[in-house]
Amino acid sequence: MLTFWGDLREDLARVEEEIRRVVAGAPPPLREAALHLLAAGGKRLRPALALLCAHFGRYSLERVLPLAAAVELIHMATLVHDDVIDGAEMRRGIPTVHARWGPETAIKVGDVLFAQAIELVSSYEDSAVARKLAATCLSMCTGEFAQERESYSPQQSVWRYFRRIRRKTALFIGAACELGARVCEAPLVVCQALRQYGLALGMAFQVVDDVLDLVAEERVLGKVVGGDIRQGIATLPVIYAWSRSKKGRRLKEILCMRGKSEAEVQEAIAIVREAGGIGFSLEVARAFAAKALRFLRPLPAIPQRRRLEQIAEFVITRSF
Amino acid sequence: MLTFWGDLREDLARVEEEIRRVVAGAPPPLREAALHLLAAGGKRLRPALALLCAHFGRYSLERVLPLAAAVELIHMATLVHDDVIDGAEMRRGIPTVHARWGPETAIKVGDVLFAQAIELVSSYEDSAVARKLAATCLSMCTGEFAQERESYSPQQSVWRYFRRIRRKTALFIGAACELGARVCEAPLVVCQALRQYGLALGMAFQVVDDVLDLVAEERVLGKVVGGDIRQGIATLPVIYAWSRSKKGRRLKEILCMRGKSEAEVQEAIAIVREAGGIGFSLEVARAFAAKALRFLRPLPAIPQRRRLEQIAEFVITRSF
């Protein structure tokens, strides 16, 4: 993945090093589990955004480094706790921490990563950095929780879906952008525009993620396809399909079943595809990406603005 | 318990209110679980210490309030995660969050409480407050983890025990004291002395806690007696007894068994008592309390200093 980031590669490698340094400070078995998580890789989207947005201020890698490492650490912490909650066995093609070391270790690893992230961002004199990140973490918990609560329910709607992914994903991506600019002292209006860009980008990103959960190749995705349907989570393509398809009732029925068969999951995916749920959702993702681009337009035309535009384009065309 | 705190009662009630306000901001099912946790009560030792230590600076309740609420929120967060990890059913005489709402909710509640605490302390301009608290949380995780790793092992030693409880309990109590003074701008040497006081107090507190786990009445303790032995955790009285008693080998054998019977737990407790493990440990706790008092001596003789002395005396005489 790192190759995608072009000239950002070197700075991202420093972020990776910083994360490794921090994680290596954890006690032995936690360290092992956290390094396993780190080695599993990932797109490093959030630190990359923080670095790029920092260029809208007086860029200094040293300055933005704690934030860039912290946003990835928090992201890792949420993944590890979510995997315990969902009982997920695989992530990015390798066993989850919870599957390999048990839920006790996974809970502790998440706590440690989160505390390490807060320690990092509290190195800024500007305490708003830690405050805004903590507030975003709260939103993420709220979003995750709403998802659990609403799962297996036929009441799931497009508006609840949007609210949920905004909290679960978009606000945090928006914060990575805003704070990257903020720690390098970009003007306030620029920070706010970048936050809006990140928010819209995050919405696009999550909609695509939810599409990929239905149609990706498992080999590429690194986890089992149809996970959301299995867990009773109605994502945008599903909600679209159940209100449009004449097989909508059947789709709803399958989604709300606990303990559905593999054949039922495949049947549900087929209904969603037939009804055009995939195409519709990608259309929505494109609209969010276009919105993200609009927030960039008034910003200074530095090379990093072009990179942010490319990310918005990548997010809606990616296959993993 | 609040009556114990005398003239501190009113300010502590404000802290309680602040915690309730914060917790009530959580999404509905988490809110319910967090309020259940809050209603279960507790000694509120950490916020009380923060308030008292704040008097060594220019005391202002408004000023110290976020910190005092945050230290209790973090304490609650660690309890709720530890209960999941330990599979504990009861705490303070009522079912744990994990027993009543399931581990998923308990993990999320802990995450939310921690994030809320960080958000609160990031309201201080001085970002060292959040940083020091986050660092202490890391130590707590390390201590808890060491406890898990060392459990059921016959290698547990007094020195490992001290290192463990320092991390698990004492450093955080030290931080509550130090930061209470710091946010009200007490002189640096005073903050440091209060940190040392809190550290020694925390050591005394945890040693007594471990004694109570063996000898308290369950009705008063609010949880099952002998829990540490059941979980293979060698606390000070046990380590003392197994190196002194001629039944030491049997004690070690029982401790290191997984799935021991109730009779075996009682047999182990009897060996510890006979060997004088209880008396020795209380002696150690008294020594720590005396050390705590010594750190107070050079401090200004304000009424709150007397209250801190009383807490050190209470900690070693308490029965719950």
B138 and A112 in contact by Cβ < 8 A? yes
**What pLDDT is attached to residue A221?**
64
A30 and B145 in contact by Cβ < 8 A? yes
A122 and B134 in contact by Cβ < 8 A? yes
* Distance from C-alpha of A218 to C-alpha of A222, rounded to nearest angstrom: 6
pLDDT tens readout for residues A158-210: 999 999 999 999 999 999 999 999 999 999 999 999 999 999 999 999 999 99
Q: Which of A84, A116, A129 sits opposite B107 (nearest CB)?
A: A84
Domain coordinates in residue numbering, chain A: 2-317
B111 and A145 in contact by Cβ < 8 A? no
CA distance A123 to chain B (A): 7
DSSP string across chain A: -GGGGGGGHHHHHHHHHHHHHHHTTS-HHHHHHHHHHHHT----HHHHHHHHHHTTSS--HHHHHHHHHHHHHHHHHHHHHHHHHHT--EETTEE-HHHHH-HHHHHHHHHHHHHHHHHHHTTSS-THHHHHHHHHHHHHHHHHHHHHHHTT-TT--HHHHHHHHIIIIIHHHHHHHHHHHHHTT--HHHHHHHHHHHHHHHHHHHHHHHHHHHHS-HHHHSS-TTHHHHTT---HHHHHHHHHSTTHHHHHHHHH-SS--HHHHHHHHHHHHHTTHHHHHHHHHHHHHHHHHHHHTTS---HHHHHHHHHHHHHHH---
The DSSP bridge partners found for residue A94 are: A91
A137 and B111 in contact by Cβ < 8 A? yes
Q: Evaluate whether A281 touches A203 at the Cβ level (below 8 Å).
A: no
H/E element, B120: helix B103-121
Question: Which tokens belong to B318?
Answer: 């308490």
CA distance B132 to chain A (A): 7
Residue B308, CA distances (Å) to A84, A85, B49, B74, B302 in order: 42, 42, 8, 22, 10
What residue has token string 């003392």? B240
pLDDT tens readout for residues A290-312: 999 999 999 999 999 999 999 99
**CATH of the structural domain A2-317, one choice from 1.10.10.10, 1.10.600.10, 1.10.287.130, 1.10.240.10:** 1.10.600.10
> Which of B316, B116, B101, B111 lies closest to B203 in space, CA to CA?
B316
**What pLDDT is attached to residue B320?**
64
Task: Locate the chain B residue with the closest alpha carbon to A85.
Answer: B104
CA distance A151 to chain B (A): 14
Answer whether residue A272 shows pLDDT above 80: yes
* Distance from C-alpha of A53 to C-alpha of A311, rounded to nearest angstrom: 12
Q: How many CB atoms lie within 10 A of CB B110?
A: 29
What residue has token string 């950095």? A129
Low-confidence stretches of chain B (pLDDT < 70) are 1-3, 218-223, 320
pLDDT tens readout for residues A21-80: 999 988 777 888 888 888 888 889 999 999 999 999 999 999 999 999 999 999 999 999
What is the 3-state composition of chain B as percent helix, strand, coil, each rounded to the nearest 5?
75, 0, 20
Q: Evaluate whether B39 touches B46 at the Cβ level (below 8 Å).
A: no
Amino acid at A270: A
Question: Which tokens belong to A121?
Answer: 């961002």
Amino acid at B97: V
Q: Evaluate whether B77 touches B113 at the Cβ level (below 8 Å).
A: yes
Pairing of strands A90-91, A94-95: antiparallel
B130 and A127 in contact by Cβ < 8 A? yes
At CB < 8 Å, which residues of chain B contact A? 26-27, 29-30, 81, 84-85, 103-104, 107-108, 110-112, 114-116, 118-119, 122-131, 134-135, 137-138, 141-142, 144-146, 148-149
**What pLDDT is attached to residue B219?**
65
> Which of B21, B83, B36, B52 lies closest to B173 in space, CA to CA?
B52
Which residues make Cβ contacts (< 8 Å) with residue B283, sequence separation at least 6? none
Going B98 to B102 to B107 to B110, the CA torsion angle's sign is: negative
pLDDT tens readout for residues A89-135: 888 788 888 889 888 889 999 999 999 999 999 999 999 999 999 99
CA distance A82 to chain B (A): 9
* Distance from C-alpha of B104 to C-alpha of B107, rounded to nearest angstrom: 5
pLDDT tens readout for residues A3-26: 678 889 999 999 999 999 999 988
Question: Which tokens belong to B202?
Answer: 């925390």
CA distance A194 to chain B (A): 22
> Which of A130, A229, A300 lies closest to B122 in space, CA to CA?
A130
B134 and A115 in contact by Cβ < 8 A? yes
CA distance A142 to chain B (A): 6
The number of C-beta contacts closer than 8 angstroms across A and B is: 131
Best of A73, A98, A129, A138 to mutate (most B CBs within 10 Å, chain B): A138
- Of residues A245 and B91, more confidence is placed in A245
